[in-house]
Amino acid sequence: MDTALKRVCMRDRIRDVLLARILDGTYAPGLQLKELSLAREFNVSQAPIREALRELEGTGLVTSERYRGTRVRGADSVEMRESYELRLMMEIRAIERCLPLTPAMIEKLQACVTGMTDAVARGDSEAYIDWALRFHRGIVEVGGNGTFLKLWDSLHWDVRGRITLRRLAARGAGLLPLIAMHVNLMDSLRAGSRNAAIEQLTTILQTVADAFDPV
């Protein structure tokens, strides 16, 4: 493995560890993340630490200021709700553009719904998120707007989805209702029923965004 690839792999591993610590509360909002201390902990140079922190800044979970370093910001409820509002707009427009779906598109999206269902049956919430993100990204992808797809990716839904799942779990909300909603959405997409699909998509994303409403 060449040096550049090793650094990328190390950066990704460090990012994932830091992300887990932010999400589980080990790193509280306001905590300063010191590059030198982290470099010593992971036994690396400061370069992959800096790169990992830069990626986390893109998620909104940390913030960096010149001469003040990087601090944990945590998940801001208002920003999270706004991001779901933007996502809903993009996915609705994607549905308007993509119907009727080709058989290949239907097969690809159905595989995601099947994966989501199997994951919930196994009690594997992490796998559920992975399949759900593939499904919704797939909707944006088949919509054919490359700018939408780049914007969707830039919002780091792999991170946001896991934050949302934890919020839903904390409120005692299970995933079975979401599975039923996705099955209904898939049925409407297969049938080419645009209005029904948009209504069901709206229900799904509003349901998860409600996790960020005040208790």
- Sequence length of the chain is 215
Pairwise CA distance, residues 9 & 6, whole Å: 5
Same domain for 47 and 103, yes or no, is no
Tokens of 117: 């269902």
Structure tokens at 54: 């830069």
Q: Same structural domain for residues 109 and 198?
A: yes
Verify that 159 and 90 share a domain, yes or no.
yes
Per-residue pLDDT tens over the stretch 104-130: 999 999 999 999 999 999 999 889 999
Mean pLDDT of 27-56: 93
CATH number of the domain where residue 37 is located = 1.10.10.10
Instruction: Give the pLDDT score at 1.
Output: 46
Higher pLDDT, 3 or 152: 152
Same domain for 59 and 116: no
pLDDT band at residue 173, thresholds of 50, 70 and 90?
confident
Q: How many domains does the chain have?
A: 2
What mean pLDDT is predicted for residues 25-53?
92
pLDDT value for 162: 82
| 95 and 51 part of one domain | no
Helix ranges restricted to H, the chain = 3-23, 35-42, 46-59, 77-98, 103-122, 125-142, 146-154, 157-170, 176-191, 194-209
Show the domain range for 21.
3-72
Judge if 111 and 181 occupy the same domain: yes
Q: Is the pLDDT of residue 22 over 90?
A: no
- The answer on 106 and 124 residing in a single domain is yes
The DSSP letter of residue 212 is: G
Q: Please say if the pLDDT value at position 24 is more than 80.
A: no
The arithmetic mean of pLDDT across residues 9-24, rounded, is: 85
By the 10 Å C-beta count (0-12 exposed, 13-18 middle, 19+ buried), 181 is classed as middle
Residue range 54-76, pLDDT digits in tens: 988 887 889 988 878 899 987 67
Domain boundary among the residues 40, 72, 104 is at: 72
pTM: 0.79
* Residue where a domain stops, chosen among 57, 72, 87: 72
pLDDT for residue 46 is more than 70: yes
**Domain boundary at 41, 72, 103, which?**
72
pLDDT the model gives residue 8: 66
Domain shared by 181 and 159, yes or no: yes
CATH, residue 96: 1.20.120.530
**Tens digit of pLDDT for each residue in 128-171?**
999 999 999 999 999 999 999 999 998 888 888 888 887 888 77
